[in-house]
Amino acid sequence: MKRAALYLRVSTLDQHPENQLLDLRQLAAQRGWTIVHEYTDHGISGARARRPALDELLADARQGKFDVVLVWACDRLARSVKHFLEVLDELNHLNVEFLSYREQLDTGGALGRAVVIIISTISELERSLIVERVRAGMRRAKLEGQHIGRRPCQVDRGSVLRHRIHGHSLTEIAKVHGISRALVSKILLEEKQSSQKGCPQTPLQPAENTPSKTAA
């Protein structure tokens, strides 16, 4: 009789894994397997490779505590192909089978493992196509003259430089102008480089009237 471990995951805290649990318990009973442990991750995205319950499951698998892992669906285990295959490879190395209730995929055989890889690859391709469509839309908007991303920050460079000359710290200047310390440093560095080339970018103070020559 095989020892089975159930892995369940819900993405948000207000979701409940009971539906997944009932289906998996019924599947284990039909196969005549004994459930030795149930692992549940609450409110954790499948995109995260490190999860408390999943980490515990893998640690127990290394100790040989069960023979097969049951999940309700493949995406409960992982969403990225890389992570999904990493987990399957480790389970396979440990001689632990993997079975998905929804897809009816069983890595106990070579065909089942091949199907899992194919489905995972198709899912990854679908996500890649979505990303590419978004990028294409951004390129089109840029060609049409639409602004993409954050609006450039409008900063009084002269005021920044004057504050620095008067001895204010980067933090104080950033707070006064509502900008980051990094931007303050960038402005000061650009001014320094420009001054070294003999062409200051921003006048530090208004130009004074040239005094008239005293009559001899």
Closest listed residue to residue 138, CA positions, set 129, 147, 130: 147
Name the nearest CA neighbour of 156 among 121, 196, 202.
202
Position 68, amino acid: V
Choosing from 11, 80, 123, 159, which is the catalytic residue? 11
Selection from 66, 12, 74, 78 nearest residue 42 by Cα: 12
Place of tokens 């102008």: 177
Q: Is 80 a catalytic residue?
A: no
Backbone angles phi, psi at 45, to 5 degrees: -70, 145
What is the layout of strands, in order, in the sheet containing 34-42? 34-42, 3-10, 68-71, 97-100, 105-106
Which residues are identified as catalytic? 11
